[in-house]
Structure 1
Amino acid sequence: MPTTYLDFEKPLAELETKIAELEAVSSQEDAPQISDELTRLREKAAKQLKDTYASLTPWRKTQVARHPERPHFTDYVSQLFEDYQELAGDRVFGNDEAVLGGLARFNGQSVVVMGHEKGRTTESRLRHNFGMAHPEGYRKAVRLMNLAERFKLPVITFVDTAGAFPGKAGEERGQAEAIARSTERCLTLSVPMVSLIIGEGGSGGAIAIAAANKVLMMEHSIYSVISPEGCASILYRDAAKAKDAAEAMKITARDLRKMGVVDDVVKEPVGGAHRDMEKAIKAAGKAIQKSLDTLSGLSELELKQQRRDRFYAIGREL
């Protein structure tokens, strides 16, 4: 069970805590026979978990997408890729650890892999700037994509950011231009590119490494032009109305699949990816391989045209 429960999971937390306590009692010598009670409680908890996650509202999905125990970029790399060699720096200013990437092997195939990394501990979150990249992060991404094109390697990206870093330092170093250049490089690549939204996909900070041939999305992740809180502050003049904004924005995987913004949704284990990280990552790997297989036979010109047609088609049939 997770160590962190979300607000709407409190009834489940109480139930699972009680189960853990009874399991501890039953493991002691001369413990009373409570196996039947434990079985009943486990079945009740499993049903409650399934029912809760079967009807998540957009706001609750936002909370799940931000769960601190949700698998991050480094978790996907360690489980799905072999011989990962990180490449650092943008060759202009410095190295931004909010965006990590390098060379690796995916199911035996050489690829370039990159993604946002939020960090998990307080120290690592500060080092990775909570996954909010500076301009040098996106210039690093461009550098990696140039490398991929030079050596004809597919590009795989993992998106998990609330947005690009909005501070003064980023603006002084050309944040908007860096995002635009990275987005442009995605669109002009002559090699296959597959992107997976694994948590938050926020604003230009996300699209800068997600303008791919195939855009996939984990079931309980979100993808939007702005956060629900930011939208509520602008439109409703009240950040407390984030729940209403999340509903109106259509930020969930199901809604975005219907609109053609994403190509496929990767189903997560019951209770979210944080409850069974290994199973969630394995499912993501299969979806990525499936997308790469569909792109493998396309020429350089066809890859560019497919990407162009894909993005031009968004919203035309609504």
Structure 2
Amino acid sequence: MASRPVFPAAREEGASRDPGLVSCREVPSRRSLPLSSPMESNGAVLAVASPTSESSFPSSCPSLRKATPPRLPLSQAPLHLPSPSASSSGLSTRATFRQLLAQVEQQLGSLTELSCSVRAHGFGTSSSLSLEETRETFDTLRSDTLSSLERANRLLHQLRISSASASGSSSAPVCSPAQLRHFSDLLLSLKAECASACETIALALDRAALLHATSAETRSDFSDGDRGEDKDDEAAAAVFYAREAGSLRESSRMLSSILQAGSSALYALRTQKAVAGKMKEKVHVMATGDAGAVSGLLGQIERQGRKQRLILALVIAACVCLSLLWVMRGHASAVDPGPG
């Protein structure tokens, strides 16, 4: 069994290395960070250390051969330039924080490139990617990125303390509240992106380890050490399989809940449809049953009206006749002379 290669990106305890930070102007970022501020025109100039020319990716990855993610050692304290005033120290802290954000940007770019290479090429005999080398590279990149994020978080806390102390005194604050909120939002965005990229690569590596497990025949020809490593691979595959099974069970449970909710909604709709049908039938019965009664009532009203009009006409005619008779009788008595 071939020995694992040692990568420059891996940390070795006791190894001496010059600490340094990568300048923001030299970091190729996937998106520009709006970190410039008018308050930084008089900021201190920080020493810039060039990143190492060696790649932290395995030589078997052609697409990642020239990618060199900058790293900050865990034991290195946050960089502060010696300055007699607290203002220059705050400016130095702010500049270091900006450099850390740019460094995390480049490290996230390396993680994204590794994720794309893993998804595009895969692993196996026909692929140039090695599972073990890629896993070691991923572990190194993840630890470096998390270390940089932790240092950036500490520096942001220092900036908040410096701004709070400066607001209570007559000196100008290092960062305004808007700048602090902007830096906090950037840091949260980088943390979320790092977690998403690491989760994607970890799932891809676990899936590859599960799918490329060695067969039982090949396992019988291995030495004792290889068998122990194979047992570790089997344990990791079993853990991944259990995780996938749990995810499937959770998805099945959620699907059952959704189907049950849909069935309840369908039953409620059918009940409402039945109630609406019954109400429609009652309205139809009332309309057909009362139509005859209403028409008969209208006929009676019409006949009563005709009767009343006829009686009124007869009364008027009788009055007219009596009036004519009275007039004619008076005229006759006036014309006829009396006796003597």
TM-score bucket of the superposed structures, by smaller chain: under 0.3
Q: What TM-score comes out, normalization by structure 1 length? A: 0.25
Higher helix share: 2
Q: What TM-score comes out, normalization by structure 2 length? A: 0.24
* Greater C-alpha radius of gyration: 2
Higher strand share: 1
